[in-house]
Amino acid sequence: MTTSLAKTPLDAWHRQAGAKMVPFAGYEMPIQYSSIVDEHNACRTSAGLFDVSHMGRLRFDGDGSEHLLDHLLTRRISDLGVGKVRYGLICNADGGVLDDVLVSHLKTPSERYYHLMVVNASNREKIYKWIEPHLADFPTVTMTDRTDVTAMIAVQGPKAIEICNRLFNVDISKLKYYTARVTEQMGKPVIVSRTGYTGEDGFELIVRAEEANRVWENIMMAGRDVGFKAVGLGARDTLRMEAAMPLYGHELDEQSDPISAGLKFACNFKDRSFIGDEALRQIVATGPKRIRIGLVPDGKRPAREGCEVLSSDGVKIGVITSGGPSPTLGHPIAMAYVDAQHAADQSFQIDIRGKTASAKQVKLPFYKRPQT
């Protein structure tokens, strides 16, 4: 069976730049342009440009959209001020994670208010279908999938703020972490959000699809002197791994819950109910059965997703969810779920395709950006 893959508005640019394109969540996406390590390092030392147009963008208009989202999310949305962004999870009734999402409360120049939800590319259809039946309870709310008519570009790294700021008439460097606004760049609307998925400071921009190439080129040009690089999905993965950010399909899925994943901070139980809240309250009360931890295997050999984690006496107690070399730290890193009674252990073994390696637990995240 052949399914045709979607292309992002920046597809031609990627190919022109010599990117290696791979299928990802129904899209053809650049996995790397030259070297994953070089792209990774550019993001940590200067800035990286990421085409993240494959991420799903769902817009909620109308009175009561905050109450709909309140009902769906582990985090309260009804008190999310205009211009604020919040990370939360959408769970099923059993507390299993359907997706992890960012919700922004935005105001258009014509003073219309709406909520924007950014979902994982691989979950876009599932989440749309999950929300659809709930709309009946909120007749004034409409949901629009804006993914195809827009593009999303992330600019991440220590130089991202300063350089991007030059492209805007308003001072976007004043935007605080986890805030967003609708503004203009060269007279065209753009949503600027101080968020990201790399562990670095930076912005995520949403523009009309037809503006994507112009905005991308503008940023690339502005950052040329300080070493801005286009960064593919390969380095996006190593960057988020170092920052210990969960990735759906790896640390999160319908068989995992936010508490086990270490995302209790993104669950808000006080004086509210949401889909899955009873199951999650139960997990909080009894404690999760397994817990996400960080591991550093000894030596150079990376332990990857699917490798079994053993206790120091050799009993299988968990599994690696993401793992690989850390370009910033120069040694392998891995995230794993382990049985809760072993979550405080310091030493583990990892079965890497038949060979056992020792590993030590480290506190997550593996990498934290230097505070300025």
Partner 1 sequence: MSRDQTKLLYAETHEWVDVAEEGGDKIATIGISAFAIEQLNDLVYMDLPEIGKELAVGDEFGEVESVKAVSPLYSPVSGEVVEVHSELPDDLEKINADPYDFGWIMKVKLNDGESLDRLMDHAVYEKQCAEAG
Q: Is-contact 327 238, C-beta < 8 A?
A: yes
Preceding amide of 23 cis, omega within 30: no
Q: Is-contact 247 256, C-beta < 8 A?
A: no
Instruction: Please state the closest distance from residue 243 (CB atom) to partner 1, in A.
Output: 16
The one among 46, 65, 185, 238 contacting partner 1 by CB under 8 A: 238
Instruction: Please state the closest distance from residue 349 (CB atom) to partner 1, in A.
Output: 17
Instruction: Please state the closest distance from residue 223 (CB atom) to partner 1, in A.
Output: 23
Instruction: Please state the closest distance from residue 301 (CB atom) to partner 1, in A.
Output: 5
Closer CB to partner 1, residue 147 or residue 322? 322
The one among 27, 29, 32, 55 contacting partner 1 by CB under 8 A: 32
Instruction: Please state the closest distance from residue 25 (CB atom) to partner 1, in A.
Output: 17
Closer CB to partner 1, residue 18 or residue 314? 18
State how beta strands 113-119 and 180-185 pair: unpaired
Residue with tokens 């105001």: 107
Per CB under 8 A, contacts with partner 1 among 112-151 are none
Beta strands per DSSP E along 62-135:
85-91, 97-107, 113-119
Q: State the binding string over 241-280 for partner 1 (x if CB under 8 A, else -).
A: ----------------------------------------
Q: Is 36 in the site for partner 1 (CB under 8 A)?
A: yes
Query: Which amino acid makes up residue 6?
Result: A
| Residues contacting residue 225 through CB under 8 Å, at least 6 positions apart | none
Closer CB to partner 1, residue 294 or residue 297? 297
CA-closest candidate to residue 228, choices 9, 33, 24? 33
Q: State the binding string over 207-236 for partner 1 (x if CB under 8 A, else -).
A: ---------------------------x--
Query: Which amino acid makes up residue 247?
Result: L
DSSP string, 107-126: E-TT--EEEEEEE-GGGHHH
Instruction: Please state the closest distance from residue 178 (CB atom) to partner 1, in A.
Output: 30
SS3 127: helix
Q: What angle do CA 328, 333, 334 make, to 5 degrees?
A: 145
- The residues of the shown chain that bind partner 1, judged by CB under 8 A, are 31-32, 35-37, 234, 237-238, 300-302, 304, 324-325, 327, 332, 353, 355
Binding residues for substrate: 204
